Chains A and B, each alone.
Chain A
Amino acid sequence: DAGVIQSPRHEVTEMGQEVTLRCKPISGHDYLFWYRQTMMRGLELLIYFNNNVPIDDSGMPEDRFSAKMPNASFSTLKIQPSEPRDSAVYFCASGSSAGNEQYFGPGTRLTVT
């Protein structure tokens, strides 16, 4: 298996622009998680899905952030409009209800100028 795939790996954008991050989970996994990692706040869970349904979005910082999972093999995290404080590494992870661990993608490094 190719593992969790994220794109793009790096994104540089200007404040006010819309940013879309993409994730393809491991085939057969029924959980998908979005995390944000910064030096100041560490690793934060933003939202997670089970069977494509959002279960807990309490970590989403504000309405500028939205996430969707239209099918079992694809999810997006969108920031509109983006702000410099959104600069971080965003990770997607997937897992199976048959196991306990989560498998992380390589991350998307977002820089908002």
Chain B
Amino acid sequence: AQSVTQLGSHVSVSEGALVLLRCNYSSSVPPYLFWYVQYPNQGLQLLLKYTSAATLVKGINGFEAEFKKSETSFHLTKPSAHMSDAAEYFCAVSEGPQGAQKLVFGQGTRLTINP
């Protein structure tokens, strides 16, 4: 069965600093991996996805993530944090290759940006 572990339920960075949110996955088949963002009182919005193409995936709002099979990781990064990045971030894994399979979500990481 697939699983996702997000290291750190809360991450706090200063505005302009590097953002690094960690995600490790477990999957018995080549995984499809996703990062979603949830702003307060809203639904989840897709940031980016890995579907076995390029290992470095670029998403919206300047975020990117790198798939590392040897480390079973899919960490999310952004070079320079902005106040508007404050939100909760979820990593998820799905069995591929057919689309829209059910997702297994991590517990989420709440990102706080300090001015």
* Distance in angstroms between the alpha carbons of A92 and B103 in the assembled complex: 13
Chain B residues near A42 (CB, 8 Å)? 105, 107-108
Q: Which residue of A lies closest to B46 (CB)?
A: A101
Task: For A45, give its contact among B32, B44, B103 (CB under 8 Å).
Answer: B103
Whether the Cβ atoms of B108 and A106 lie closer than 8 Å is no
Please tell me the number of chain B residues within 8 Å of chain A, measured between CB atoms. Answer: 23
A105 contacts B32, CB within 8 Å? no
Q: Are B99 and A104 in contact (CB under 8 A)?
A: no
Give the complex CA separation of A45 and B90 in angstroms: 14
* Beta-carbon contact of B108 and A100 below 8 Å: no
> How many angstroms from the CA of A31 to the CA of B98 in the assembled complex?
12
Contact A97:B103 (CB < 8 A) given known A43-B108, A106-B43: no
Is B49 part of the binding interface, using a Cβ–Cβ cutoff of 8 Å? yes
On whether the beta carbons of A95 and B99 are closer than 8 Å, the reply is yes
With beta carbons under 8 angstroms apart, the residue of B90, B94, B105, B107 that contacts A100 is B94
- CB-based contact A91/B43 at 8 Å: yes
User: Residue A96 contacts which of B46, B51, B94, B100 (CB distance < 8 angstroms)?
Assistant: B100
Q: Which residues of B contact A (CB under 8 A)?
A: 32, 34, 36, 42-46, 49, 51, 90, 94, 96, 98-105, 107-108
- In the assembled complex, 27 residue pairs joining A and B whose CB atoms fall closer than 8 Å, in A order, are A29-B100, A30-B100, A31-B99, A33-B102, A43-B44, A43-B90, A43-B105, A45-B104, A56-B102, A93-B43, A95-B99, A96-B99, A96-B100, A97-B100, A98-B99, A100-B32, A100-B49, A100-B51, A100-B94, A101-B34, A101-B49, A101-B100, A104-B43, A105-B43, A106-B42, A107-B42, A107-B43
